[in-house]
């Protein structure tokens, strides 16, 4: 699949679920619960023990689901990026911009979404081929930042992460977000093993996005 197709798939998903976990089993169950609830873009963070193996398992499990896209998050350097990609990750997300990760993702034709919060960081990321910018932390930058960023960078695609929840998701899209990242607010019940609740929350996020899109 071409980079542009992967990027479109990511943006069209509406909500990217940021998945963390204390171990592989918890992470896998959380992903399954989120996908069951209708959120099909998964950012499996490298803070999960054995994250590359979890990505491999998920990529094989959902390879026949055209709507599901599995990526890696909290990727800080190119070694982790390559490890994620060879295990099936279809996009790479970082909390900050790293030029070596950007070059590696370009080499493998994989979308790279770096975390940025200043115009300088955004310009550097765009210069290295990033087509979707993660505004992180979103609750620090604020919704008004998106309009400000789009002044000098009118065509930039933005994904706010951190501070996105059901109550303010519509405001983020109204502000100009292309897609949003949702973490602890979406998956918090996984910590107590209540994966049914995780699925229910994912359904609410999906329904909210459908309402916004319509």
The answer to whether residue 43 is catalytic is yes
Strand partners, 170: none
- Radius of gyration over alpha carbons of the chain, in Å? 16
* Torsional sign, CA 104, 35, 68, 137: negative
Which of 3, 9, 90, 134 is catalytic? The answer is 134
Q: Which CA distances in Å does 12 have to 4, 99, 141, 149, 178? A: 12, 26, 23, 21, 8
Alpha carbon distance 44, 28 (integer Å): 9
Alpha carbon distance 93, 20 (integer Å): 13
The answer to whether residue 103 is catalytic is no
Which of 43, 90, 131, 208 is catalytic? The answer is 43
Q: Which residues are catalytic?
A: 43, 134
């Amino acid at each position: 699949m071409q980079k542009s197709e992967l990027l479109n798939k990511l943006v069209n998903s509406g909500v990217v679920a940021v998945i963390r976990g204390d171990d592989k089993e918890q992470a896998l169950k959380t992903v399954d619960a989120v996908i069951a609830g209708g959120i099909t873009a998964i950012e499996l963070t490298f803070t999960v023990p054995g994250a590359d193996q979890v990505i491999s398992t998920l990529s094989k499990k959902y390879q026949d689901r055209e709507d599901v896209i599995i990526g890696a998050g909290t990727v800080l350097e190119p070694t982790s990026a390559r490890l994620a990609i060879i295990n099936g990750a279809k996009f790479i997300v970082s909390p900050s911009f790293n030029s070596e990760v950007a070059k590696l993702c370009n080499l493998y034709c994989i979308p790279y979404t770096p975390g940025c919060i200043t115009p300088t960081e955004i310009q550097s990321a765009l210069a290295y081929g990033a087509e979707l910018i993660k505004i992180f932390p979103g609750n620090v930058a604020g919704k008004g930042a998106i309009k400000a960023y789009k002044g000098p960078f009118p065509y930039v695609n933005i994904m706010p992460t951190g501070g996105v929840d059901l109550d303010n998701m519509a405001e983020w899209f109204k502000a100009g977000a292309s897609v949003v990242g949702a973490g602890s607010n979406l998956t918090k019940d996984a910590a107590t093993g209540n994966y049914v609740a995780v699925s229910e929350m994912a359904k609410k996020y999906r329904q909210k996005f459908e309402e916004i899109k319509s």
